[in-house]
């Protein structure tokens, strides 16, 4: 057996470990608090403040960032029972899920890069139209659905230390930009991890090891191995499927495969699992279908009843299910239609 099928691409596990360590230190030490307070204290447009705060909270590389975002947005939302509060549910959701298209810290980006040996630039060249329409969707929602009067800023100003922003936030942004610019992630996030360890004085090995999700690491490693095997036998698999019900070159096969992809993500409701489905199907049918499978799986994940983020945003801001569903379905359809035109 070719051992490269086992270890090829596993270096990306180091990136995931770095992300977990960075996320844990940011969360435990409230390193981004001053940035959010700065936006609240220094911007005239209420909707602009909501846009900036929601965008930054969407960048947080931490599990449950939709909950963190909800807590921060709650300081800008009308009080419970007041008109306009329900509009913040979709803001909380969409602002924390654009991340899956582009962030080099996210499994939905790391897994395809590892499986297909892509650089970040190559990955983004495949996926940028989906990210672009998502940004347009978010912008239109803030402009046409949210009014200035819907934003509550009748709060005392919080004291902001600019030095904390430059010390804690700028290094994080610089590391992300460095990876996007082509710098090896081992250098970018390896150095960032060391930096946060020193500035937060987090040196105890038990504390650091406590940030690592070993189950996730094992699952990612297994997915990469399976993808390597599938890629190595992709021609044989495609020949076997050709002419059958799963032949994607036929309209019926395209519909069946796409439906299976959507349903699997809909039922699983997990970003790592939808990324795994995307990788495996793209490995079978070809990388040219990666944007399509990503879009279909992402749509299934967005509207999944097992996806806890949807419930958090909806319940936190008392958003009606019909309103919430309309926004998410609209976003999903926009992404899927964009991907369909990309492969045709």
The pLDDT tens digits of the residues spanning 261-291 come to 888 888 776 777 788 888 888 888 888 899 9
Mean pLDDT of 300-328: 79
pLDDT range class, residue 333, cuts 50, 70, 90: very high
pLDDT value at position 156?
47
pLDDT value at position 305?
73
Q: How many angstroms separate the CA atoms of 154 and 110, rounded?
A: 41
pLDDT value at position 242?
57
Q: Which of these, 328, 299, 294, 291, lies nearest to 313 by C-alpha position?
A: 328
Mean pLDDT of 173-190: 80
Q: Give the rounded percent of residues in the chain with a pLDDT score beyond 70.
A: 79
Residue 337 pLDDT exceeds 90: yes
pLDDT value at position 257?
84
pLDDT in tens, 32-80: 777 767 776 777 677 777 777 777 766 666 555 665 566 567 666 776 6
pLDDT value at position 61?
61
Q: Which of these, 68, 35, 96, lies nearest to 316 by C-alpha position?
A: 68
Q: Give the rounded percent of residues in the chain with a pLDDT score beyond 90.
A: 15
Q: How many angstroms separate the CA atoms of 154 and 128, rounded?
A: 38
Mean pLDDT across the chain: 79
pLDDT value at position 145?
83
pLDDT value at position 67?
59
In terms of Cβ atoms closer than 10 Å to its own Cβ (0-12, 13-18, 19+), residue 148 is: exposed
In terms of Cβ atoms closer than 10 Å to its own Cβ (0-12, 13-18, 19+), residue 37 is: buried
Residue 339 pLDDT exceeds 90: yes
pLDDT value at position 196?
93
pLDDT in tens, 203-238: 888 889 988 878 767 876 776 777 677 667 656 655
Q: How many angstroms separate the CA atoms of 137 and 90, rounded?
A: 11
Q: How many angstroms separate the CA atoms of 53 and 186, rounded?
A: 29
pLDDT value at position 304?
79
Residue 146 pLDDT exceeds 50: yes
pLDDT value at position 132?
95
pLDDT value at position 138?
87
Neighbours of 188 (CB within 10 A): 21
Residue 155 pLDDT exceeds 50: no
pLDDT value at position 123?
92
pLDDT value at position 198?
94
Higher pLDDT, 169 or 238: 169
pLDDT in tens, 81-119: 667 778 888 887 888 788 889 887 788 888 888 888 888
Higher pLDDT, 233 or 336: 336
pLDDT value at position 191?
93
pLDDT value at position 43?
73
Q: How many angstroms separate the CA atoms of 313 and 93, rounded?
A: 6
Range with the lowest mean pLDDT among 20-34, 71-85, 166-180, 280-294?
71-85
The residues, ordered by sequence, that sit 6+ positions from 243 with a Cβ below 8 Å of its Cβ are: none
Mean pLDDT of 335-340: 95
């Amino acid at each position: 057996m070719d051992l490269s099928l086992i270890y090829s691409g596993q270096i990306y596990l180091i990136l995931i470990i770095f992300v977990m360590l960075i996320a844990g230190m940011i969360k435990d030490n409230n390193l981004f608090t001053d940035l959010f307070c700065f936006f609240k204290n220094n911007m005239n447009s209420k909707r602009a403040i909501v846009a900036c705060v929601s965008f930054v909270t969407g960048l947080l590389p931490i599990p449950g960032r939709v909950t963190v975002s909800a807590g921060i947005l709650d300081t800008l939302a009308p009080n419970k029972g007041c008109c306009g509060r329900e509009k913040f549910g979709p803001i909380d959701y969409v602002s924390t899920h654009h991340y899956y298209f582009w962030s080099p810290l996210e499994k939905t980006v790391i897994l395809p890069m590892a499986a297909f040996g892509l650089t970040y630039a190559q990955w983004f060249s495949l996926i940028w139209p989906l990210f672009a329409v998502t940004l347009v969707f978010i912008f239109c929602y803030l402009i046409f659905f949210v009014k200035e009067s819907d934003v509550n800023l009748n709060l005392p100003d919080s004291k902001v230390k600019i030095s904390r922003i430059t010390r804690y936030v700028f290094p994080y942004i610089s590391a992300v930009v460095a990876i996007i610019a082509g710098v090896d992630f081992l250098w970018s996030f390896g150095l960032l991890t060391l930096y946060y360890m020193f500035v937060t004085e987090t040196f105890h090995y038990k504390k650091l090891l406590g940030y690592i999700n070993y189950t996730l690491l094992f699952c990612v490693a297994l997915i990469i191995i399976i993808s390597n095997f599938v890629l190595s036998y992709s021609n044989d698999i495609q020949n076997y499927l050709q002419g059958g019900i799963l032949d994607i070159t036929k309209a019926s096969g395209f519909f069946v495969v796409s439906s299976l992809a959507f349903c699997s993500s809909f039922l699983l409701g997990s970003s790592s699992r939808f990324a795994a489905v995307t990788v495996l199907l793209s490995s079978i049918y070809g990388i040219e279908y990666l944007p399509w499978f990503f879009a279909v799986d992402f749509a299934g994940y967005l509207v999944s009843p097992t996806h806890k983020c949807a419930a958090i945003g909806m319940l936190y801001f008392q958003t009606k299910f019909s309103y919430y569903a309309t926004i998410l379905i609209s976003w999903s359809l926009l992404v899927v239609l964009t991907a369909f035109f990309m492969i045709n």
